[in-house]
Chains A and B, each alone.
Chain A
Amino acid sequence: MGSLNLIGAGLVVIGAGLGLGKIGGSAMDAIARQPEAAGKIQTAMIIIAALLEGLAFAALILGK
């Protein structure tokens, strides 16, 4: 891995971290507002987190 690749990997991780933080935070807000919908919100949250994670991993592996 070259140094530019490492910088790219760092950028990917920053982006993924911001995205995951946003998803998690919004899900927490939603659950606090509607605790009875917690199950549905959690499922949706996990799916979107997985989509984001897939993108981040794809970037990391393709950039390797």
Chain B
Amino acid sequence: MVISKKPVRIILATFAGLLSSIAFANPVVDTTHVATAVTHEAHATTEVAHNEASHGDEHAAQDPKDKVTAYIEHHLQDSHDFVFFSDEKEGKHYGFPLPVILLDNGLKVFSSSKLHHGEAVAEVDGNYYKLYHGKIYKTDAAGTISYDEHHHPTNVKPLDFSITKNVMSMLFTSIVLFLMFTGLARSYKKGAIPTGFGRVLEPLIIFIRDEIAIPNIGEKKYRKYMGYLLTVFFFIWLLNLLGMTPLGINVTGNIAVTVCLALFTYFITQFSANKDYWGHIFWMPGVPVPMKIILMPIEILGTLTKPFALLIRLFANITAGHVVIMSLIAMIFVGKNIYADMPISLGLTLFISVIEILVAFLQAFIFTMLSSLFIGMAVQDHHHDGHGHEEENVII
């Protein structure tokens, strides 16, 4: 990889410029002044929060650090509405509500604006629902939530099929993918060379075919799996990139989503597996009989750990990226001198964001690559000509 010198020079100059701001860090007089002001503010907001959330048992944020932690935890969760930013002092949230669909003695469909971000009880057909820590519970008219000894709510939780923030992001991504690829497919009818945005997509598709599918699955069998590999690659990549926008979407950092994606790979692998694959799992050829018996449970577990690693990797990478970026931005509010902290925080955030854009691609690539590797292991033909066949299982 060759990097031309100009951008490097600009980045160095920017960093040199940012470094000078360290000189402003923690001037004694200013610091104490700002610090007291901050604590005063925090106290004031805490009181307001106490008054507002007296019925809701919200653990009111005590100081900026706790507030930041609560905010980041909230961001990592799925939610029933889209909130872009909130005004804490007035208790206003700017965003738009999403439909809530509950299965509770019949289908109940209503707008999440009725839930008022967990601050009010929604009444639908004589039933009362309340939002508590991102989950909808059935309550009485007053909205009381009872707890067991571990402080878990004991209220009835109706089956929730809501179009939540994550579901909406996934639907949006699906529509974008559909439009992009039908456009590409249509442009092939006019000629061999795609037009418009298809010119961006074609090299990526060829990359996945030539670098991922064919080397791992094999020249003869790769075609059947291209649909899945392409879908999963572009789906994960687009969702990762959506997570980098300031919309507050965190879909691939949600473990339920990655579990589903990994389950797809798991079932495709198991259902397309041939006799050799099952033979290697249940009765490993070429080893003594006691060893075969020991290897059987290990190999059966191995089929499960592969998709498990797949789902944990994607989930943890994206979650870690989001936490790091939000923590770096939070440095502005936790630090003592906002004018000194801002350039450092923004510089570091820019740096990590650029890395995260690489990670967004890399994780989609890795997921597709490992999926095709697992599928390839299940469908490839083994040649039992004595020694040396073990080498075929070696990666690449």
Q: Which residues of A contact B (CB under 8 A)?
A: 40, 43-44, 46-48, 50-51, 53-55, 57-58, 60-61
Contact = CB atoms under 8 A, between A and B. Distances in A.
B247 interface: no
19 contacts: A40-B396, A43-B396, A44-B396, A46-B362, A46-B365, A46-B366, A47-B366, A47-B370, A47-B396, A50-B313, A50-B366, A50-B370, A53-B313, A54-B312, A57-B313, A57-B316, A57-B320, A61-B312, A61-B316
Contacts of B366: 46-47, 50
Interface in B360-378: 362, 365-366, 369-370, 373
A58 B312 CA distance: 6
A14 to B, nearest CB: 17
A43 B309 contact: no
Contacts of B373: 47
Nearest to A43: B396
Nearest to B363: A50
Interface of B: 211, 308-310, 312-313, 315-317, 320, 362, 365-366, 369-370, 373, 395-396
A26 to B, nearest CB: 14
B112 to A, nearest CB: 30
B316 A60 contact: yes
A51 B306 CA distance: 9
A54 B310 CA distance: 7
Nearest to A48: B395
Contacts of A48: 395
B114 to A, nearest CB: 35
Contacts of B362: 46
Contacts, number: 42
Contacts of A46: 362, 365-366, 369
A58 B315 CA distance: 10
A46 B364 CA distance: 12
B315 to A, nearest CB: 8
B312 A51 contact: no
A5 B173 CA distance: 38
A43 B396 CA distance: 9
A58 B305 CA distance: 11
B237 to A, nearest CB: 15
Nearest to B396: A44
Nearest to A57: B316
Nearest to A40: B396
Contacts of B316: 57-58, 60-61
Contacts of B312: 54, 57-58, 61
A53 B318 CA distance: 13
A54 B211 contact: no
Contacts of A47: 366, 369-370, 373, 395-396
A10 to B, nearest CB: 16
The residue in B211, B312, B369, B395 that gathers the most chain A C-beta atoms within 10 A of its C-beta is: B312
Nearest to B310: A54
A56 B291 CA distance: 29
Contacts of B315: 61
B396 A54 contact: no
A12 to B, nearest CB: 12
B313 A43 contact: no
A50 B365 CA distance: 11
B120 to A, nearest CB: 33
B309 A51 contact: yes
Given A46-B362, A46-B366, A54 B309 contact: yes
B394 to A, nearest CB: 10
A58 B370 contact: no
Contacts of B320: 57
A44 B396 CA distance: 7
Contacts of A50: 313, 366, 369-370
A40 B394 CA distance: 13
Contacts of A58: 308-309, 312, 316
A53 B366 CA distance: 11
A43 B370 CA distance: 11
Nearest to B255: A61
Contacts of A44: 395-396
A61 B365 CA distance: 22
